[in-house]
Amino acid sequence: MIELGHLAAFLALAASLAQGVLGLMGARALAGRAALVAFGVMSLSFLTLVVAFARSDFSLALVANNSHTLKPMLYKIAGTWGNHEGSMALWCLVTLGFGGAGALWMRTGRDVFEARTLGVQGWLATGALSYLLFASSPYLRLDPAPLQGAGLNPILQDPALAFHPPMLYLGYVGFSFVFALAAAGLMEARIDRVWAREARRWALAAFVPLTIGIALGSYWAYYELGWGGWWFWDPVENASLMPWLIGAALLHSVAVTEKRGNFAAWTALLAVLAFLFSVMGAFLVRSGVLTSVHAFAVDPKRGMVLLTGLVVYGTFALGLFALRAPKLEGGKPWQMLSREGALAVNNVVLVVAALTVLLGTLFPLMAEAAGRTISVGEPYFRLTFVPMLAALLAILPVVQVWSWGKADLSMLWKWAAGGVALVAVFLALGVGLWDIPLGAAFGLALGVWLLFGSVGELRRRAVTWGRVFRMPLRVWGMTLAHIGLGVFVIGAVVETTQRYEATLALPAGGSGTVAGWNITLKDVHAIEGPNWYADKADITARRGSAKAEMAPTKRYYPAARMPTTETAIHKTGTGDLYVALGDRRDVDGETRWVFRVYFNPLIDFVYLGVLLMGLGAFFSLLPVRRKPA
């Protein structure tokens, strides 16, 4: 079966090559058929890998290195992509999947343009498959086959991590098709409203799963790693955030191109950059240049191949942009104080924010190359990234009511007065009732400001409250996404500034107090799972009449020779009581267990906000039902 899968991958390479050649020749129908064939045979190839993992076929090196007979079936299957080679097979499958979807659903009425789009996508797939087959093959055999496998990395044996990589790849690789659309449009020097309408659909199709994938990764890190927080500015987290920021800028820019015909060159450039940042993320994760709990492999040789691909793709696209961008037609005239001007500022801030994250991620590498050791952590991002985004979000409710071409500024003073009043209210509450920091007061005001602005904009578009629920899905999508931003800001500000943490060293029967909760350790005993054993703590937490039974554990996986932390989380309605079990210590002849205990207020608002942003983008993606004439 593995030989069949290996052969199918080579057939997919041949079909992708045909797709690339036929597409650039302008043969729309033939390129489309080649795209569908390539996706079909690659699906067969990937399925053989899944079956090999499900059957624990240790004659396949990939299975032997990343699976174990005692693993639950979900993690056996997830092991297919929970490693470098398998994840790149998934990358190829998704690349070909977008090519096949484009062949079926791309309908612009421009056959040559569509053919060229499929052609560029075919060449992208050819590059990915060549890397898979010649530099990172998942089809290598072992002879003799071992009786048992090494097992999947224990920290990846989690439901969220089973679905996190596929979601991320749908986002990363989804931008490849937007890249292909941009390249085809630049070849014709025709980035217009028809192009923008098509590009917007595919950009949303990438943005939605990327958003969900980032949220899944963040939530996994929150409850699995025992660190107590939801975002650590880890280099691999940053690698997924950067294309998300560029994608957000692209969605706002393409709206201007679709509505007014403006920003054509800039929108095409963002479409190119979104995919290049995705490829760069793959390079950072897989080259070994960065150290991270999320990183797949430490292999400089394969990293250099990925870097070469990034340089080739970037040189082609940016060179084409340099040649064709001056020939693109402009749109309607506009002034800086207009919706176009506001969206231009939006784009600049988001791109600069992405570059700021890039600098913070790569600066330690540059310092190391110069013989110095420098770490860049949360303080850098708080001082650079956060103020830029805060300023952008502060003006959002104001500028979204501005007209195209030229804004009416007669109501600006009312907006300014409302914003100042809102900040004053939270400052007064902070000083008098809540005793929160000055920055937190501004942050809460910003979150509420975004909520009021989003609902107000929906009401303005509907004219009357009775028409609100009859507004188009695209308007609802924008509203939900902006409401999600507000909810996220409130959750992030409260959780970050009001988080309480403490370390307790408790004997059996001992107690400690954290954030008003009395934590009592009843006992710690050993348990066993299918492929692990663990120490499990039985804890009772009380605050007033509220009571919770919690059971944090510390697992050990013999096959991988690696421990993991399984936290216990009790949701109170206002936040999470979060307990992680540490090491055992002997103090004056008494056995004590160390616990890290956190109270994270409004942490669910962080994930609810991201979910609303993803849901809003999904609503915007849904087709609009047009009434018959």
| pLDDT tens-place string over residues 145-176 | 888 887 777 777 778 778 888 999 999 999 99
HSE of 309, CA atoms in CB hemisphere, 13 A: 27
pLDDT value at position 432?
52
- pLDDT band at residue 96, thresholds of 50, 70 and 90? very high
Residue 292 has pLDDT above 60, yes or no: no
Which residue's structure tokens are 């530099």?
A: 135
Please name every residue paired with 525 in a beta bridge, in sequence order, or none if there are none: 536
- pLDDT band at residue 471, thresholds of 50, 70 and 90? confident
Residue 331 has pLDDT above 90, yes or no: no
Sheet strands side by side (includes 590-601)? 500-506, 590-601, 575-587, 568-571
Tens digits of residue pLDDT in 423-434: 888 877 765 556
Report DSSP state, residue 406: S
Give 78's contacts (C-beta < 8 A, 6+ positions apart).
152, 156, 157, 161, 162
pLDDT value at position 589?
80
Give 399's contacts (C-beta < 8 A, 6+ positions apart).
339, 342, 345, 407
> Torsions phi, psi of 144, nearest 5?
-80, 155
Tens digits of residue pLDDT in 7-26: 999 999 999 999 999 999 99
Report, as an integer, the average pLDDT of 572-590: 89
Measured CA to CA, the distance from residue 559 to residue 568 in angstroms comes to 25
pLDDT value at position 157?
75
Structural tokens at position 116: 């060229």
pLDDT value at position 160?
78
Mean pLDDT of the chain: 89
* CA angle, 192 then 625 then 623, to 5°: 55
Tens digits of residue pLDDT in 35-45: 999 999 999 99
Who wins on pLDDT, 290 or 379? Answer: 379
Residues in the chain: 629
Measured CA to CA, the distance from residue 287 to residue 269 in angstroms comes to 26
pLDDT value at position 290?
58
Who wins on pLDDT, 498 or 254? Answer: 254
The proportion of the chain whose per-residue pLDDT surpasses 90, expressed as a percent, equals 59
- Angstrom CA distances, 414 to 5, 207, 398, 402, 553, stand at 65, 35, 10, 14, 55
374 burial class (0-12, 13-18, 19+ CB within 10 angstroms)? exposed
Residues 55, 133: contact at Cβ < 8 Å?
no
- pLDDT band at residue 625, thresholds of 50, 70 and 90? low
Type of residue at 176: S
Measured CA to CA, the distance from residue 175 to residue 250 in angstroms comes to 11
Residues 195, 268: contact at Cβ < 8 Å?
no
pLDDT value at position 627?
47
Measured CA to CA, the distance from residue 328 to residue 264 in angstroms comes to 7
Structural tokens at position 323: 């040649």
Tens digits of residue pLDDT in 339-364: 899 999 999 999 999 999 999 988 88
- Angstrom CA distances, 315 to 311, 312, 323, stand at 6, 5, 12
Who wins on pLDDT, 233 or 93? Answer: 93
